[in-house]
Structure 1
Amino acid sequence: MLGPDTDTELRAEIAVDRWFFRIEHHEEAEKAVAALDPASPTAHILTGRLAYSRLLFKHEPRPDDRAVAEAAYHAAVASGDEKQRGWAEYHWAVLLDNIDQDAAGALPRYETALEIATKTGDAYFESYIIRHLAPHREPAERLAMLRRSLHLRAALGARPQTIAAQAFLAANLPEDDPERAELQQISRSGAEELRIGWLLSEV
């Protein structure tokens, strides 16, 4: 439980992450984001993520969600510090990649985000970027990137993200690979325990 003195930006980030992983409490996440300074980079990024998530999960998407997400990421790129700019570039790339199927538009933004993550030594951020870059690489490099993403998350103790990385790595292994079955079993068990809604619909 978050106390009444919890920082409003942290409260909003946690609310959006909870919605994103569990696919529940969307209204609570919206209220938390609405409490932020609307001109702040954090508000821009979280507004974009909420709009993107409604499109991705087909959860009551709004007619302007696509435009809202891109405008929010554009604003965050222009107003944030280097790390915030990196996250905004990453989320913008994911929007282009997953919603528009525009790999050509997404890849330069992924690369910009990866450059910032590497420069700042942010392993957590790197794990996100390379997980999304991996599908655009040849099979051997793809698996190496997915394994690195998994190892980075595990080393940081980021359990929900580690479970997601296990599931995605499994999906990219041959069907007769014993590691695939083991990863599927482990990730499903973890997803059930943590109630990771979007993952339970896939694994």
Structure 2
Amino acid sequence: MLADATYVARRLFLLGEWDAALAVLDPDGDPELRAEIAVDHWFFQVERHDEAEKAVAALDPASSTAQLLTARLAYSRLLFDRDPRPDDRAVAEASYRAAAESGDELQRGWAVYHWGVLLDNIDEDSAGAVARYETALEIAAKHGDGFLESYIIRHLAHLQEPAEEIAMLRRSLHLRAALGARPQTVAAQATLAQALPEADPERAELIRTYLPAAAELRIGWLKPTD
């Protein structure tokens, strides 16, 4: 039964049905998955931060999952400017580094990727970010992790020439759609729309497609491009 509940929760998690995913989990079962869902919920909807922080606090603080999620919370407070704390920048980097050193190789890939995003979006350190993106991309390729790849190339794309940028954003979108990751697919549609010329019919179609989905999922940081 527990395995079934965990499977259902993971499928609902992919669909952006965060409340439903948490509801099917046993309150005392799989605290790491519960924390991952809660942090993802906060990140997409920019709501219920305290619940996410409480779920992370319930984990072994030395675990790579706790370190990665602690870093993501600190980073997102800075990114969204939602009650950022004086030590958030330092906590984020230290926790990403710890997660990269304490987890398995694939977990290291995710930690290094997120570390790159911190450097990219908060520090505007493109060189430092790219070095970490490339390391994470090697790990994603080695393990055949298309989900991780979809995140990395979405961030690498904006550093490319326009044609290559569009190609990478399309691949990120297709990878996410194939995995059934609905919130990430909607975000990828929005990013691709923003990168396309205003007169491109594909841009208009993407906007018509992603706006209702973003509204349904209540993605707090997706705005109309027109």
Indicate the TM-score class for this superposition, using the shorter chain for normalisation. Answer: over 0.9
Rounded Cα–Cα distance in structure 1 between residues aligned with 2:180 and 2:100: 28
Q: For 1:144, which of 153, 160, 167 is the aligned residue?
A: 167
Q: Deviations over 1:33-74 (max 9, x none)?
A: 000000000011000000000000000111110000000001
Residue 25 of structure 1 corresponds to which residue in structure 2? Answer: 48
- Partner secondary structure for residue 199 of structure 1: coil
Counterpart residue type for residue 196 of structure 2: L
Q: For 1:129, which of 123, 139, 152 is the aligned residue?
A: 152
Structure 1 residues without counterparts, runs of 5 or longer: none
Rounded Cα–Cα distance in structure 1 between residues aligned with 2:184 and 2:177: 8
1:40-189 map, 5 Å:
40-189=63-212
Counterpart residue type for residue 168 of structure 1: T
Are 2:62 and 1:39 aligned?
Answer: yes
Are 2:206 and 1:199 aligned?
Answer: no
Structure 2 contact 207–225 (Cα < 8 Å) conserved: no
Q: By how many angstroms is 1:199 displaced?
A: 1.4
Q: How many residue pairs were aligned?
A: 203
Q: For 1:4, which of 2, 10, 27 is the aligned residue?
A: 27
Q: By how many angstroms is 1:6 displaced?
A: 3.2
Query: Alignment identity in percent?
Result: 73
Counterpart residue type for residue 10 of structure 1: L
Rounded Cα–Cα distance in structure 2 between residues aligned with 1:54 and 1:35: 20
| Bigger shift: residues 179-188 or 166-175 | 179-188
- Structure 1 length as normaliser, TM-score? 0.97
- Partner secondary structure for residue 171 of structure 1: helix
Structure 1 contact 192–200 (Cα < 8 Å) conserved: no
Rounded Cα–Cα distance in structure 2 between residues aligned with 1:6 and 1:65: 29
Q: By how many angstroms is 1:77 displaced?
A: 1.2
Rounded Cα–Cα distance in structure 2 between residues aligned with 1:77 and 1:21: 24
Q: By how many angstroms is 1:138 displaced?
A: 1.0
Counterpart residue type for residue 140 of structure 2: A
4+ residue runs over 6 A deviation: none
